[in-house]
Amino acid sequence: QKIKQKFKSDFISLYARGRRIPHTHIFLIPTVSGDLTDRFFNALEKFQESPGELIKIKNSLELIAATLLDNPSI
């Protein structure tokens, strides 16, 4: 809330990163609607599965797992 007030932003984007060694960098980015960060994350939403699609994937994986457990010779 303090960052949001200080920078007069609409919201705060959180980005976490850490790859090569066990550690994490956490970035808190003051963001306003329509700026580069907002547009970037809005674009990512086009590539994400909806909750309904995720449930279908989950159900399919559960069916595959159950089939493999019932028929280990497959």
- Residue 57: its pLDDT value, please? 94
Q: Residue 31: its pLDDT value, please?
A: 93
Number of domains in the chain: 1
Report pLDDT for 15. 87
Per-residue b/e over 16-54, b at no fewer than 16 CB within 10 Å? eeeeeeeeeeeeebbbeeeeebbeeeeeeeeeeeeeeee
Give residue 8's domain range: 2-70
Q: Tens of pLDDT along 54-69?
A: 999 999 999 999 999 9
Chain position carrying tokens 């960060």: 37
Cα(71)–Cα(73) distance, rounded to whole angstroms? Answer: 5
Q: What's the pLDDT score for residue 50?
A: 85
3-state secondary structure of 44: helix
Q: Write out residues in the chain with pLDDT < 50, as ranges.
A: none
